[in-house]
Each structure stands twice: as structure tokens, then as C-alpha cells.
């Protein structure tokens, strides 16, 4: 299953990991369906970068130190080394 994120600069396709991270993907999909992300800002965007490389989509940690508090903020990274995400960030796509 995939989700298309339409922005004013480009479209982003996120292939959801429905089997590996069911809670995170279901939460993200629910927020997409209710149009929660419509008109939301991306906090960091790098201009003039065109990329067709596959990336990783994950839920951002709420920052309280408690587990399972990832709510709606997500990020996309193109880095290959994701060891620092282990145990903290729910990678859903």
C-alpha cells in the first residue's frame, strides 16, 4: 500500500510497511484519510534538490522519554545508516 504526499514542490510516494509496523502505518494512514496533514508545513526542506533515491519514513519521537507517544509528526530521511533510530522511531515506510 502506498500514500502520495502532494506538496507545492513535488510529490512524494511512501510505500507503507503494513506488516512490519502495523500501529504506525495505521495511525499515519488514518491521519492522511482525515486530511490532518493538509496545509501542514515541512519543518526542513532543502531547495533545488531533485532525488529519486528511496528513503525512509518514520514517526518523530514526542521527546518526553516515554514509549509509544509518537503521534502525528513524521520525517523522511535519505540516509543509509539508520542504527540511531533503533528502539525509538517507528519506521513505517
At 30-82, the pLDDT tens digits run 988 999 889 888 776 666 656 666 777 766 766 555 555 566 777 777 767 76
| Residue-level pLDDT at 37 | 85
In a domain, 93, yes or no: no
> How many domains in the chain?
1
In a domain, 60, yes or no: yes
Largest CA distance in the chain: 37
Write phi, then psi, for 52 (nearest 5 degrees): -115, 10
In a domain, 16, yes or no: yes
Half-sphere exposure for 72 (CA within 13 Å, toward CB): 12
In a domain, 80, yes or no: yes
What secondary structure letter does DSSP report for 17?
-
pTM of the model: 0.69
In a domain, 66, yes or no: yes
Q: Residue 6, Cα to own-chain centre: how many angstroms?
A: 14
Q: How far apart are CA 8 and CA 64, in angstroms?
A: 32
| Residue-level pLDDT at 74 | 79
**What is the extent of the structural domain holding 48?**
2-85
Write phi, then psi, for 72 (nearest 5 degrees): -130, -25
| Residue-level pLDDT at 33 | 92
In a domain, 33, yes or no: yes
Q: How far apart are CA 81 and CA 85, in angstroms?
A: 9
Q: Is the pLDDT of residue 85 over 70?
A: no
In a domain, 26, yes or no: yes
| Residue-level pLDDT at 34 | 93
Amino acid at each position: 500500500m502506498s500514500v502520495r504526499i502532494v506538496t507545492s514542490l513535488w510529490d512524494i510516494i511512501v510505500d507503507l510497511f503494513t506488516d512490519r509496523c502495523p500501529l504506525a502505518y495505521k495511525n499515519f494512514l488514518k491521519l492522511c484519510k482525515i486530511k490532518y496533514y493538509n496545509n501542514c508545513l515541512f519543518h526542513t526542506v532543502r531547495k533545488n534538490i531533485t532525488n529519486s533515491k528511496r528513503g525512509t519514513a518514520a514517526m518523530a519521537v514526542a521527546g518526553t522519554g516515554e514509549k509509544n507517544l509518537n503521534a502525528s509528526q513524521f520525517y523522511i530521511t535519505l540516509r543509509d545508516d539508520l542504527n540511531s533510530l533503533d528502539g525509538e522511531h517507528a519506521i513505517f515506510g
